[in-house]
Amino acid sequence: MKTKGFIFDLDGVIVDTAKYHFLAWKNLANSLDFDFTETQNEQLKGVSRVESLKKILAWGNKTVSDAKFQELMTLKNTEYLEFIDNMDESEILPDVPKVLDYLIDENQGIALGSASKNARRILEKVHLLPKFQSIVDGNDVSKAKPDPEVFLNAATALNIKPEDCVVFEDSVAGVQAANTANMISIGIGSQDVLYEADYVFKDFTEISTEFLNKIINN
Ligand code: BG6
Ligand code: MG
């Protein structure tokens, strides 16, 4: 059996945290007297915290000092973490543990490749941390997706060549990062949005062991 590296994005792939990011960003925007919509939130998928705040302030036509910017980043994250601290296993997206356990049984490399600086905390809350051999998150990279840095670091951590790695991603930027890294990209979400991916599935319930075997043995 060949060993491939399977790299999972976190937000939108393992757990649906987009709703918590949305609530925290919306409250922040409202406190600055403008609104923030679900459509705008969609555009922040896979986007780092600092880039997200820059975009939100631009949408609201606000310019702030560097000190205020830092204060807003902290405010948003403090509120976001209140939601995170109430998370448990029930928030893991369908069939994620099944796929992880199958890949572990098949001796495949498993890593996390996320833009989030809260990744470890979230994996701990949903009790999935022990399933990952390596974690590469927002604390470990200097360039955000679509730059491939996060996935290339994950491949290095697994000691598996990039071309033998497979990435599960729900964001366009993440799919592009995986493609640039020369990895197989698997989009989780809608084909209309993630058409640049090598494969797209609505969620993990659509991913069969036959499909995983095909990827492992290719
Ligand atoms: C990504 C999310 O995974 O992580 C983005 O899709 C988020 O919405 C980014 O902004 C950074 O997350 P955090 O937890 O470091 O603020
Ligand atoms: Mg994501």
Q: Label residue 39 by pLDDT band (50, 70, 90).
A: very high
Q: Which residues are paired to 5 by β-bridges?
A: 109, 165
Distance CA 191, CA 113 (A): 22
The architecture in CATH of the region 18-84 reads Orthogonal Bundle (1.10)
Q: Using the predicted structure, report yes or no on whether residue 99 has a pLDDT greater than 80.
A: yes
Could you tell me the residue ranges of all domains in the chain?
A: 5-15+90-217, 18-84
Amino acid at site 214: K
Residue nearest to ligand 1 atom 8, measured at CA: 45
pLDDT tens-digit map of 54-92:
999 999 999 999 999 999 999 999 999 999 999 999 999
Counting ligands in written order, the one closest to the CA of 140 is 1
Domains 5-15+90-217 and 18-84 alike in fold: no
Q: Kindly give, in sequence order, each residue whose CB lies less than 8 Å from that of residue 40, ignoring residues fewer than 6 positions away.
A: 55, 56, 59
Distance CA 44, CA 55 (A): 8
- 164 C-alpha vs ligand 1 centroid, how far in Å? 26
Is 11 annotated as catalytic?
yes
**∠ CA 47-161-140 to the nearest 5 degrees?**
35
- 171 C-alpha vs ligand 2 centroid, how far in Å? 5
Amino acid at site 147: D
Q: Kindly give, in sequence order, each residue whose CB lies less than 8 Å from that of residue 39, ignoring residues fewer than 6 positions away.
A: none
Q: Per CATH, is 5-15+90-217 categorized as 3.40.50.1000?
A: yes
Residues with Cβ within 6 A of ligand 1? Answer: 10-11, 21, 44-49, 52, 77, 114-118, 138
SS3 state at 135: strand
Counting ligands in written order, the one closest to the CA of 47 is 1
- 9 C-alpha vs ligand 2 centroid, how far in Å? 6
pLDDT tens-digit map of 135-178:
999 999 999 999 999 999 999 999 999 999 999 999 999 999 99
Is 33 annotated as catalytic?
no
Q: What percent of the chain has pLDDT over 70?
A: 99
Residues in the chain: 218
Could you tell me which of 171, 167, 173 has the C-alpha nearest to residue 198?
Answer: 167
Q: Using the predicted structure, report yes or no on whether residue 96 has a pLDDT greater than 70.
A: yes
Q: Label residue 2 by pLDDT band (50, 70, 90).
A: low
- Alpha helices for 32-148 (secondary structure H): 38-42, 49-59, 66-84, 96-105, 119-125
